[in-house]
Amino acid sequence: MSTDLLDAINAKTRDAYNLAAERYHELFHNELENKVYDRALLDRFARSFRRDSRVCDAGCGPSGQIGRYIFEKGIPVVGVDISDRCIELARQYNPALQFAQCDMGKLPFAGQTFDGIIAYYSIIDTPKACVPRLFREFHRALKPGGRLLVAVKSGSTDGYLPDLLGIETEIYFSSFTQDEIRSFFELGGYEIEFLEERSPYADEIAVSRIFAVGIG
């Protein structure tokens, strides 16, 4: 896929989340309260770091809830998102955290900046053919031995959807298999530390979730 086409897809993603930012915050700002599995996974991920580590929440959304969970354990976090409205709200709701508006495929940070990167349901708006670019960019920004945590929805979807959270807007959506996620990590130069799938919670969309951690 050409860079121009990917840029056009990313522009639609930015526009869609600018429209849906308030709705997203309403639905997900406190989502971790009822997600025991996710909290345990993030707890384990956080134990890999120290108070002088630095973690990037890539695709932090308007609530910054995943980055905030790590930050509250004493670990510095920088949240990034392609949507300027999401970043505006994330700063409002999390004044102690740092945020930057950017395309996470073009992180505005020097190489080997981060000890960890979290991509929690954020690679799902990228065409599968372009996802390896994200893993390479994350690898560039990670320190040697740094960890990447990825969460996605399980499935075979790869294309545009006509709405986001009930708001009419065109947005790209990809779901993945465990084999695809494993391949992205391996091709990106990571050693897979963890790869697991869980069933959806009762209040989630009824598809399984895949979680993986790789060491760069």
Both tokens of residue 92?
A: 């409002």
Mean pLDDT by groups of 10 residues along the chain of 216 residues: 88 98 96 96 97 97 98 98 98 97 97 98 97 98 98 97 96 98 98 97 93 97
Residue 74, domain CATH: 3.40.50.150
Q: How far apart are the first and last CA of the chain?
A: 25
CA distances from 158 to 21, 80, 81, 172 (A): 23, 24, 21, 8
Count up the domains in the chain and report the number: 1
Q: What is the pLDDT of residue 99?
A: 98
Domain that holds residue 39: 3-215
Residues 6+ apart with CB under 8 A from 120: 57, 59, 66, 149, 150, 151
Report the amino acid identity of residue 177. Answer: T
Q: What is the pLDDT of residue 3?
A: 85
The pTM of the full predicted model, rounded to 2 decimals, is: 0.97
